[in-house]
Structure 1
């Protein structure tokens, strides 16, 4: 009987052991069976249609408009704000933030010196050139342009995504959306009331149909008499208001107090709004700012228009 030399058996056994090791512990699936790697980047699209990509949630944020500052806090990311602009007065913590100019006069050097992970801007307020300049300086910039009430909830959730606070942001946005929908249901079939919304008296200024305030009017069954104006915040004259004869006049002003100039319309007694005593006031911070607080202003407007409707 022939025997196999031991010198041949040992290499053969070693080869078998190596084959077994690779076939169990080190098995690699065929290329066709491998799952593609999933990107962990945060990706959103801003109001310019530009894709904004972050490799991780932003830890340092600069907001270039008061309403954006407020929305960052609503999204649960207020502790990540390192600077804002003037008139950023809500919530109270925002008053302590360093300022990098005004929303329409940004201090680029201040922004650059603070080295934020993310800058949040506003197209119509800052101007499109601001975002472009900050991007040339190497900043990552997301810009908004909120025109409807639903846009506000979307912005809060987007900021939550960018800042890594989605759980808080989504919860607050959804709760707010539910309250908004309740108002819609209540006034969806209400009789239309024509409205003149007065931003200021000298020069006489209003807002057109593209502004968020017009969407609040629609929510309440109101119709903006200057919805067709070309400019988003047109300057007008008294004759144009008289000729359109609104059922109600709602003024904003600059602060929490009813402006005295609202009563100057009483010198035009033929106006329906004057005859029916439908001269109303809503503080600008809760009606002209694109934030969750606008629901407070919306409730007031709905109540005022219902009063005018019943008359």
Structure 2
């Protein structure tokens, strides 16, 4: 009871009425009333932070979430906590006039809490390259920066189209991307990385698996005979780790030391993912 009273006191002390006059529909179908010109923005997902900065609104960001890496300037902002359970008390104390989050996999607990307090929260749900473009547009609407959003999506699409044009008709290397080794977890048909590999001129040997992150046996991997591996540069999953694991030495890609290292920006469904796409395309087709 005392904790509840303290939290309500924080809400009373710190919540700031939002001067809002626009009603938008976010990417999960919610109607959200947002300010004409948000100037105190909290980003609840690293990919959201990257997009907001890419739209030129970095100076208006008052807080980010844990694990934010891009752009580097955003790391100087305070964090409100992890992606699933951010600190509501911290969010309220920062007087945001707009919170931008990512569609959660579970219940909308944080969204419901902020709604009850009266802090507008706008959710995005990017899926694939087209989803990145769409989220740039919708966040641009929320920030009232549509000219910037139009220019950004146009430049990003030109870069994607240029890669596809350069690699069109070239032999696509058949690759396997291990996310983890025990159990062996990889990328399926609906994973964003699968689409990036294809756009870069390659093909994942597991692109027919319906699960986003399927678990497979070593027998399945060997049957599909990938020509090379794709590994995120600087991560815990390294070539040396795989080479030392039972069964992996039977794979031709391991025996021949054929591996492509993809930039870790591939993990962000935001403009920086296009950097990773271009990097991978240069490796597939030098």
TM range (shorter): 0.7 to 0.9
SS of residue matched to 2:285: helix
Q: Closer, same or farther in 2 for the Cα pair 1:164/1:258, shift >3 Å?
A: same
Answer whether contact 1:105 1:126 (CA < 8 A) is retained: no
Q: Give the aligned partner of residue 245 of structure 1.
A: 225
Segment of structure 1 superposing worse, 295-304 or 199-208: 199-208
Q: Give the aligned partner of residue 7 of structure 2.
A: none
SS of residue matched to 1:198: coil
Aligned mates of 2:63, 2:282 — CA distance in 1 = 37
RMSD across aligned positions (CA):
2.9
Q: Deviations over 1:173-231 (max 9, x none)?
A: 32222111111212233334332112234553322222211111121233333334454
Pick 1 or 2: higher relative contact order, CA cutoff 8 A, min separation 6.
Answer: 2
Q: List gaps (5 residues or longer) in structure 1.
A: 1-39
Q: List gaps (5 residues or longer) in structure 2.
A: 1-19
Alignment TM-score, normalising by the size of structure 2: 0.80
Match 1:90 to one of 58, 63, 70: 70
Q: Closer, same or farther in 2 for the Cα pair 1:131/1:60, shift >3 Å?
A: same
Q: Give the aligned partner of residue 293 of structure 1.
A: 272
Aligned mates of 2:183, 2:174 — CA distance in 1 = 22
State the Cα distance separating 1:295 from its structure 2 match: 1.9
Question: How many aligned residue pairs are there?
Answer: 267
Matched ranges for 1:240-279 at <5 A? 240-252=220-232, 255=235, 260-264=240-244, 268=248, 270-274=250-254, 276-279=256-259
Q: Closer, same or farther in 2 for the Cα pair 1:134/1:126, shift >3 Å?
A: farther
Matched ranges for 1:12-31 at <5 A? none
Q: Give the aligned partner of residue 213 of structure 2.
A: 233
Q: Give the aligned partner of residue 223 of structure 1.
A: 203
Aligned mates of 2:116, 2:122 — CA distance in 1 = 14
Q: Give the aligned partner of residue 82 of structure 2.
A: 102
Q: Give the aligned partner of residue 183 of structure 1.
A: 163
Matched ranges for 1:160-179 at <5 A? 160-179=140-159
Q: Give the aligned partner of residue 4 of structure 2.
A: none
Alignment TM-score, normalising by the size of structure 1: 0.74
Q: Give the aligned partner of residue 34 of structure 1.
A: none
Q: Work out which of the two has the higher radius of gyration on C-alpha atoms and give 1 or 2.
A: 1
